Amino acid sequence: MIQTAFDASRGWDALARLRQQAPLVHCITNYVAMDVAANALLAIGASPAMVHAEEEAADFAAISAALTINIGTLSPPWVRGMELAIGSAAARGTPWVLDPVGAGATPYRTGVAADLARRHPTVIRGNASEILTLAGEVGGTKGVDSTRTPEEAREAASALAASLGCVVSVTGAVDHVTDGTRTLAIHHGDPMMTRVTALGCALTVITGAFLAVEKDPVHAAAYALAFFGLAGEMAASGSIGPGTLRVRLLDALYILDTQTDKQLRIQPVA
């Protein structure tokens, strides 16, 4: 399939808009991720709020520029909060992201992920095992960790995106974003990122921030992946291990524009 040339340099304009607008991102995320995800949003220039109570989830979604839903530490009251927030976002045309953490690990988790996926998320962001599971295949998830690669999940991601009418963002060594027609591969990141928990969850909320400032959800998801991966590379270089990387990642998100190499490695996949 021939795709029109993708101008990755426009990612820098999206980053500038993000920093200028500082969008409020409503995050319903897990206990593990709350700290690093909120700090990642602040570091890149957005405004995070971690709000999950069913009593206020709909009202909070109504005042936010984007909503992100992550099922990492789910329970029935949390799921009710998620459903109310999603309904409120949908009523206002607010973009929202689903992170199906650990889909495939237990029937409850898989069922909730599948149900939320049918509620028209703008983007589903997950690792390869989670995306394969949502697509109805054997995902091979190891708890919340993936045992598969985005390349192995490529066809499934594309079919899932087409059937749900959303964008699917699959992470791993090389990340892929697809809407079922257009597919982009993002060549950024560092293997040490898999040794720090909840970086996928942090990427999910940053995807929400880019959706608030970039209309095309394929591009928004790709920019989030490229900048988060680039920050991961900057942080990993010189880090002796995951502890240092985790701290330096926040610094790297803050100083992304000091990069002299402005080439984002985002490529269309034929």
Ligand X SMILES: Nc1ncnc2c1ncn2[C@@H]1O[C@H](COP(=O)(O)OP(=O)(O)OP(=O)(O)O)[C@@H](O)[C@H]1O
Residues of this chain that interact with ligand Cc1ncsc1CCO (CB under 6 A) are: 30, 32-33, 72-73, 101, 144, 197-198, 201
Bridge partner list, 115: none
What x-and-dash track marks residues 110-139 binding ligand X by CB under 6 A?
-----------------x------------
Mark the segment that binds ligand X (CB under 6 A) among 52-60, 88-96, 168-176, 215-223. 168-176
Q: How far is the CB of 48 from ligand X (least distance, A)?
A: 16
Integer CA distances (angstroms), 19 to 46, 75, 101, 166, in order? 7, 34, 28, 26
Residue 200 binds to Mg ion (criterion: CB under 5 A): yes
User: Which of 139, 217 has the CB closer to ligand X?
Assistant: 139
Closest to Mg ion by CB, 88 or 207: 207
One-letter amino acid identity for 179? D
Single residue of 27, 43, 112, 201 touching ligand X by CB under 6 A: 201
198 marked ligand binding residue: yes
**66 is in the binding site of which of ligand Cc1ncsc1CCO, ligand X, Mg ion, none (Cβ under 5 to 8 A by kind)?**
none
Cβ atoms 213, 18 nearer than 8 A: yes
Q: Minimum distance from CB of 232 to ligand Cc1ncsc1CCO (Å)?
A: 16
Q: How far apart are CA 85 and CA 116, in angstroms?
A: 11
Min separation Cβ 125 and ligand X, Å:
8
Query: Per the annotation, does 244 bind a ligand?
Result: no
Q: Which string of x and - marks every residue 152-171 that binds Mg ion (by CB under 5 A)?
A: --------------------
Q: Is 236 a binder of ligand X (CB under 6 A)? A: no
Q: Can you tell me the distance from the alpha carbon of 40 to that of 96, in angstroms, rounded to the nearest whole number? A: 18
- CA 218, 108, 93, 181 torsion: positive or negative? positive
Residue 73 contact, options ligand X, ligand Cc1ncsc1CCO, Mg ion, none, Cβ 5-8 Å cut-off depending on partner type: ligand Cc1ncsc1CCO
CA-CA distance, 19 to 23, in Å (whole number)? 8
* Interacting partner of 178 out of ligand Cc1ncsc1CCO, ligand X, Mg ion, none (Cβ under 5 to 8 A depending on kind): none
Residue number, 194 or 259, with CB nearest to ligand X = 194
- The CB-nearest residue to ligand Cc1ncsc1CCO is 72
Q: Annotated binding residues, as ranges?
A: 50, 125, 171, 198
- Give residues in contact with ligand X (CB under 6 A): 101, 127, 144-146, 171-173, 175, 189-191, 193-194, 197-201, 203, 228-229, 232
